Structure 1
Amino acid sequence: MGNEEAIFFSRVLTELTLSFHIIYATIGVGIPLMIMIAQWVGIKKQDEHYILLARRWTRGYVISVAVGVVTGTAIGLQLSLLWPNFMQLAGNVIALPLFMETFAFFFEAIFLGIYIYTWDRFENQRKHLLLLIPVAIGASFSAVFITIVNAFMNAPQGFDLVKGQLVNVSPIVAMFNPAMPTKVAHVVVTAYMTSAFVLAAIGVYRLLKGSDHLYHKKAVFLTMKLGLVFSIATALLGDFSGKYLAEYQPEKLAAAEWHFETGKEVPLILYGVLDNGEIKYAIKIPFALSILAGEVPNAEVIGLDRFSEDEVPPLYIHYLFDTMVTIGMWLALLSFVYVIGVWKKWTFVISKWFRWLLVLGGPLSILAIEAGWWLDEVGRQPWILRGIMRTKDAATTSGHVDTMLLLFAGLYLILGVGSVVVLIRMFRKNSVEQELADRAVEKAGELT
């Protein structure tokens, strides 16, 4: 295997691993907050349905954590095996958040174990709820620290490179790079949003399958309200991300928007096709890109004409941007209509066709997460460490990466299918109705 083949297979394997891991990682970050909110609402309203929601979500969450640990470990392994030159350079600068991410995970896992095994040990449920706070904090900070590493790749700082040697290394400066605030906030909030829509989709699916239990209706209404809140927050953070790109990574913004010539009063381009450099069939929103980049309609936006051809990211990231934005706006609209519809008692929000739209919101939110990460990683190309190290210079020269690709693909297939089968069997054998009946018997026994 030649160097070019090794680079190609390294990129494919890394993309496969990240694409698979991000599903479980996103759910792993967002679900603890959903569990905490459900249990808090249950305690506040003295409603057994919300308490049971927290219990059942926790069981499913444990499975996602287990798979996330395996795939996260695979990412750490592949960074060293597939990108040794990158790790040799960047590992000396950005190792601190990698260590902190491991610490945050253990912090989360310890309190999650205590939380699970003390369900019925507290007379005051508020004390049990307190155990969820470190779980939610640990899960969110796992995302924070690992995203800081990704932000560093987009805006490297905190060191000087003199004749190929690292000097003046400052890990703290490296962590607090310009990309960190917007990227971390966007990743964490979209994890909350995605988790809400995935849980809502599960609840609506159960309603469609004939389980017209009040438990599922409460679950759907709670998660759709949370989905609405976090989808609005995601849109606001997306605006900040656009402004960051305009200032610090203008080539990525220009490629994502097919903005070829630097100018003012630039429209935002959605969809369309490129035909010999000419944009056709696109939707153009006047002045919108200038407003996004500079807050005013006549703001100048740097185009791809300012960059050499070998520094321009692949132009297909335009479709990844469109996919992410379209799904995000659709989910915000869908959740808004549903929440208002329930409040106003519009009958169509409980119709079969509308409920199927809500079910589709779950996989669509996952697709938006995938598109966003692909946009981030591909949009940084040809750099693995922007402006310092190109991807082709960071890769391994090993001739066995193709074999690794097959082995890891088999592992992810087993993990994916296995986790779905386990989750389905877990909840099929323990129906909501049966659990509520068992809880009622337990309470009756306590009273007597």
Structure 2
Amino acid sequence: MINEDAVFYSRVLTELTLSFHIIYATIGVGVPLMIMIAQWVGIKKNDEHYILLARRWARGFVITVAVGVVTGTAIGLQLSLLWPNFMELAGNVIALPLFMETFAFFFEAIFLGIYLYTWDRFKDQRKHMLFLVPVALGAAFSAVFITIVNAFMNAPQGFELVNGELVNVNPISAMFNPAMPTKVAHVVSSAFMTAAFILASIAAFRIIRGSSHIYHKKALYLTMKIGLVFSIATALIGDFSGKYLAEYQPEKLAAAEWHFETAERAPLVLFGILEGEETKYGISIPYALSILAHNSPYAEVTGLDQFPADEIPPLYIHYLFNIMVAVGMWMTLLALVYWIGVKRKWKIVKQNWFNWLIVFGGPLSIIAIETGWWFAEVGRQPWILRGYMRTVEAATSSNQVDLMLILFSCLYLILGIGSVVVLQRMFKSNPVEHELEEREAENQGVET
């Protein structure tokens, strides 16, 4: 028997947990690559600023990893407690990537500890940097394996359901489902992009606050350049994601674009207000939806008229999709202008108002990550396992989920505030200028 209150609170708690976790998970996936690139550039150029950049980023990264572990554990717990029917069915099929995700995290954590505690043990920085390679790989593959689980929920395969019983289970086939390539690539690429822009926003803020030290300028240039590369990559992968949706989840694409009737030469609608099945005040780009879906301006795009009303996702995912795309395009443009401006020595990229745009780019990138995940999850509704199990069928019937929601909300509030306070005090008590002076003194002592 379905308990509607339990379903509601289960969905709210799961959304809260994922929304909180995705911030730390994205940083956890993206920052190790930033650290590795900074250290590699420092070694290549024999530049202490980049070496110190890697060292300071690594210290802050440890805090985000600690919080990510707690929230990641909460997700695993909630899958079993809140969605027992789903885990009973899908757990037998998709348990392998869940196990491999745990292994990837331990692989990352072990080498992260070695990396942090051996900073001054190697005269050759190249040897020390090698410890960071498995850290970056472990972080990336953690995202890969957990995203495979999400992809399976959108395109389940690798099993047969006969009279309610699982038969012919093939975990490898379940992992390599049609949704896997585009979802994994999009998640990893957007994590690298977001991490770069978050670090860039910190550097820009320090410059605005009056720090003219070359360290922050180098940090800003490096992260904005990396952010540009991965924002372009994310946009290209997003195009492939649109084509995946057109073939395998056409109802999600149609709902996201408010495409009600199957038609050729379909326009792409941005923003607007929906009245019935009519879009007002939106920006319509002719042929764009047909191109996005099938690479042809004359292609036919399936509309919502082809699906039962109870299988159509909530239409507000249109705004989630638009926000994600708009922020991605804005950050790509901002990074491109900055990169060209530095090369051409434009004065605008040195102005405080432009640096403020970069500062706001960090939170905007997080908003894009959030709306992207909400779009992915809400756009799959009413299914938790598309075509096999609806969300209402998967939830617990317990009457205690509302209490769990309160307790976990308090936990996330404490973790969020605590991590910000710790990070702020960590770097405020040891400013980069002071650390650079200490390192210069150490180097002079060694030379003497």
Q: State TM-score, norm by structure 2.
A: 0.99
Output the CA distance in 2 between the equivalents of 1:41 and 1:276: 56
What corresponds to 1:249 in structure 2? 249
CA positional deviation for 1:447: 1.9
What corresponds to 2:372 in structure 1? 372
User: In structure 2, what residue type is equivalent to 1:92?
Assistant: N
1:161 counterpart SS class: strand
CA RMSD of aligned residues (A): 0.8
8 Å CA contact 2:2–2:392 kept in 1: the answer is no
CA positional deviation for 1:69: 0.2
What corresponds to 1:420 in structure 2? 420
8 Å CA contact 1:271–1:322 kept in 2: the answer is yes
How far does the alpha carbon of each residue in 1:43-67 deviate from its partner, in whole angstroms, 9 at most, with x for none? 0000000000000000000000000
8 Å CA contact 1:2–1:399 kept in 2: the answer is no
What corresponds to 1:16 in structure 2? 16
1:121 counterpart SS class: coil
CA positional deviation for 1:278: 1.2
CA positional deviation for 1:442: 1.1
User: In structure 2, what residue type is equivalent to 1:106?
Assistant: F
What corresponds to 2:287 in structure 1? 287
Note the 1:90-109 alignment, pairs <5 A. 90-109=90-109
Output the CA distance in 2 between the equivalents of 1:278 and 1:268: 14
What corresponds to 1:219 in structure 2? 219
Output the CA distance in 2 between the equivalents of 1:346 and 1:445: 41
8 Å CA contact 1:228–1:332 kept in 2: the answer is yes
Output the CA distance in 2 between the equivalents of 1:333 and 1:246: 27
Note the 1:346-357 alignment, pairs <5 A. 346-357=346-357
Output the CA distance in 2 between the equivalents of 1:34 and 1:217: 16
What corresponds to 2:316 in structure 1? 316
User: In structure 2, what residue type is equivalent to 1:184?
Assistant: V
Output the CA distance in 2 between the equivalents of 1:15 and 1:333: 31
Output the CA distance in 2 between the equivalents of 1:276 and 1:2: 31
What corresponds to 1:86 in structure 2? 86
User: In structure 1, what residue type is equivalent to 2:65?
Assistant: V
1:166 counterpart SS class: strand
How far does the alpha carbon of each residue in 1:346-394 deviate from its partner, in whole angstroms, 9 at most, with x for none? 0011111111000000000000000000000000000000000000000
2:273 counterpart SS class: strand
CA positional deviation for 1:2: 7.8
Identical columns (%): 75
What corresponds to 2:382 in structure 1? 382
Output the CA distance in 2 between the equivalents of 1:329 and 1:274: 24
In structure 2, stretches of 5+ residues that fail to align are none
Note the 1:186-335 alignment, pairs <5 A. 186-335=186-335
What corresponds to 2:140 in structure 1? 140
What corresponds to 1:127 in structure 2? 127
User: In structure 2, what residue type is equivalent to 1:200?
Assistant: A
User: In structure 2, what residue type is equivalent to 1:33?
Assistant: L
Note the 1:106-185 alignment, pairs <5 A. 106-185=106-185
User: In structure 2, what residue type is equivalent to 1:317?
Assistant: I
Output the CA distance in 1 between the equivalents of 2:101 and 2:335: 32
1:237 counterpart SS class: helix
User: In structure 2, what residue type is equivalent to 1:99?
Assistant: F
User: In structure 2, what residue type is equivalent to 1:409?
Assistant: S
User: In structure 2, what residue type is equivalent to 1:349?
Assistant: V
User: In structure 2, what residue type is equivalent to 1:348?
Assistant: I
User: In structure 1, what residue type is equivalent to 2:171?
Assistant: P
Output the CA distance in 2 between the equivalents of 1:348 and 1:40: 30
Output the CA distance in 2 between the equivalents of 1:119 and 1:207: 27
More moved, 191-200 vs 116-125: 116-125
CA positional deviation for 1:266: 0.1
User: In structure 2, what residue type is equivalent to 1:444?
Assistant: Q
Output the CA distance in 2 between the equivalents of 1:202 and 1:278: 43
Output the CA distance in 2 between the equivalents of 1:337 and 1:2: 54
User: In structure 2, what residue type is equivalent to 1:338?
Assistant: Y
8 Å CA contact 1:266–1:288 kept in 2: the answer is yes
CA positional deviation for 1:123: 1.2
How far does the alpha carbon of each residue in 1:64-111 deviate from its partner, in whole angstroms, 9 at most, with x for none? 000000000000000000000000000000000000000000000000
8 Å CA contact 2:265–2:297 kept in 1: the answer is yes
User: In structure 2, what residue type is equivalent to 1:85?
Assistant: N
Note the 1:19-34 alignment, pairs <5 A. 19-34=19-34
Report the count of equivalent residues.
448
8 Å CA contact 1:105–1:142 kept in 2: the answer is yes
8 Å CA contact 1:380–1:386 kept in 2: the answer is yes
What corresponds to 1:339 in structure 2? 339
What corresponds to 1:74 in structure 2? 74
8 Å CA contact 1:40–1:129 kept in 2: the answer is yes
2:300 counterpart SS class: coil
How far does the alpha carbon of each residue in 1:272-325 deviate from its partner, in whole angstroms, 9 at most, with x for none? 001122110110000000001110111111000000000000000000000000
Output the CA distance in 2 between the equivalents of 1:442 and 1:103: 39
Q: Which structure 1 residue ranges, 4+ long, deviate > 3 Å from structure 2?
A: none
2:413 matches 1:405: no
Output the CA distance in 2 between the equivalents of 1:239 and 1:156: 22
How far does the alpha carbon of each residue in 1:140-194 deviate from its partner, in whole angstroms, 9 at most, with x for none? 0000000000000000000000000000000000000000000000000000000
2:301 counterpart SS class: coil
Output the CA distance in 1 between the equivalents of 2:337 and 2:250: 36
